[in-house]
């Protein structure tokens, strides 16, 4: 095998597929990137058996062939090469020569025969959305998945298709994040649970441009994302997702409209007094025209007031400040509306169209608010 390509194109391709290289594995072939120049294009592939990524890079194939190269050493070499054309050549024993200007590397490769190619997926129905929309909807929900592998369902996100709507849901037992995305076409109902790891890696690859599109294919066991000469195939999480509808309610005793930036900045300031690992709640007292925020820790205390518009009863309620910050940071609206029932019931942050819904459970606190 022999081909020549630009260093920038090769590095971009290596960075994309490296996201599917496992950090730990007993199968050494999975620690490799497969370079396939056996047809009319140069294709890079990595696969950890749960997540597989392949991408095509530009280049001139001088001699067709295929080789698997250790991903870690290959990516480090490519990253540190001069910014010029790179020639990659292998012999019959898969010894691989990498040349760029005066830099020459010789490394041992492996046969591609043992490599686990991406599974063949029957591509029937699919949806098309912009890279911008997909990147945003991941950013707006991914923070509330759980990293607890004992509950696999919470480590993924629900993708639910219905008519003209794509609903994306994540939860970790303390909060729920929901985003509703309006689609241009109508689709048959479908529900799948996508691993959070897959969505995090895709988010890093997506350009996020409004004019660039992503095709998403759903099958029984896999989800496939196609964009920019790149294919990402991921196994789905099996099982029935939590019944989110039972957690949602439109009932409230207190409704508050508040400037999002003011509220976010205030809570952000309050967290300066919380040491890492401390579980100190921010206590919110709502009465006519004002929201009082208070936090007390071993470091000190803080009080602040923000002007609000209130409808309904006064209330004193406590929250994990991080949960409020996570939700507020990904809301673009200038004003947000909070709906509360009592100090022990969930608080909802949602807009009128319900394009976003954030449910946050309150925390118990023993404090007197003046």
Dihedral angle over CA of 145, 125, 220, 155, nearest 10: -10
Average pLDDT, the chain: 94
3-class DSSP state for residue 348?
Answer: strand
Question: Residue 189 CA to chain centroid, in angstroms?
Answer: 23
Confidence at residue 368, expressed as pLDDT on a 0 to 100 scale: 42
- Which tens digit of pLDDT belongs to each residue from 330-356? 999 999 999 999 999 999 999 999 999
3-class DSSP state for residue 153?
Answer: helix
Burial class (CB in 10 A: 0-12, 13-18, 19+), 316: middle
How confident is residue 224, by pLDDT bands cut at 50, 70 and 90? very high
How confident is residue 163, by pLDDT bands cut at 50, 70 and 90? very high
Q: Is the pTM of this model over 0.85?
A: yes
Domains and CATH numbers, the chain: 2-114 (3.10.150.10), 126-245 (3.10.150.10), 248-360 (3.10.150.10)
Question: Does the pLDDT at position 12 exceed 60?
Answer: yes
Q: What are the DSSP calls for 205-217, one per residue?
A: H----TT-EEEEE
Other C-beta atoms lying within 10 Å of the C-beta of residue 245: 7
How confident is residue 278, by pLDDT bands cut at 50, 70 and 90? confident
Confidence at residue 104, expressed as pLDDT on a 0 to 100 scale: 97
Q: Strand 335-340's sheet: what is its strand order?
A: 156-171, 175-195, 356-360, 347-350, 335-340, 254-259, 309-312
3-class DSSP state for residue 57?
Answer: strand
């Amino acid at each position: 095998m022999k081909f020549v390509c630009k260093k920038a194109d090769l590095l971009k391709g290596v960075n994309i597929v490296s996201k599917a290289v496992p950090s730990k594995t007993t199968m050494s072939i999975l620690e490799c990137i497969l370079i396939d120049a056996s047809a009319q294009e140069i294709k890079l592939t990595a696969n950890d058996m749960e997540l597989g990524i392949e991408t095509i890079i530009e280049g001139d194939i001088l001699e067709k062939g295929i080789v698997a190269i250790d991903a870690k050493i290959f990516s480090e070499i490519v990253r540190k090469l001069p910014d010029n054309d790179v020639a990659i050549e292998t012999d019959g024993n898969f010894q691989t020569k990498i040349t760029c200007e005066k830099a020459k590397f010789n490394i041992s490769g492996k046969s591609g025969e043992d490599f686990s190619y991406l599974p063949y997926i029957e591509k029937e129905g699919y949806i098309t959305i912009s890279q911008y929309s997909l990147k945003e909807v991941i950013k707006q929900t991914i923070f509330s998945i759980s990293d607890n592998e004992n509950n696999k369902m919470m480590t993924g996100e629900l993708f639910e298709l219905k008519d003209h709507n794509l609903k994306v849901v994540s939860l970790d037992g303390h909060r729920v994040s929901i985003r509703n995305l309006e689609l241009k076409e109508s689709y048959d109902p479908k529900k799948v649970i996508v691993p959070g790891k897959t969505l995090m890696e895709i988010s890093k690859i997506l350009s996020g441009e409004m004019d660039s599109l992503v095709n998403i294919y759903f099958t029984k066991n896999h989800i496939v994302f196609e964009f920019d000469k790149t294919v990402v195939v991921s196994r789905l999480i099996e099982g029935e997702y939590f019944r989110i509808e039972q957690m949602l309610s439109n009932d409230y005793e207190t409704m508050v409209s508040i400037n999002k930036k003011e509220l976010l900045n205030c809570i952000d300031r309050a967290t300066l007094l919380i040491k890492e690992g401390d579980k100190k709640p921010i206590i919110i007292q709502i009465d006519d025209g004002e929201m009082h925020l208070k936090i007390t820790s071993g470091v000190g205390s803080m009080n602040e007031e923000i002007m609000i518009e209130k409808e309904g009863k006064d209330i004193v309620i406590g929250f994990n400040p991080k949960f409020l910050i996570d939700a507020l940071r990904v809301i673009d609206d200038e004003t947000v509306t909070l709906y509360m029932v009592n100090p022990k019931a969930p608080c909802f942050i949602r807009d009128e169209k319900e394009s976003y819904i954030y449910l946050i459970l309150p925390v118990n606190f023993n404090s007197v608010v003046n």
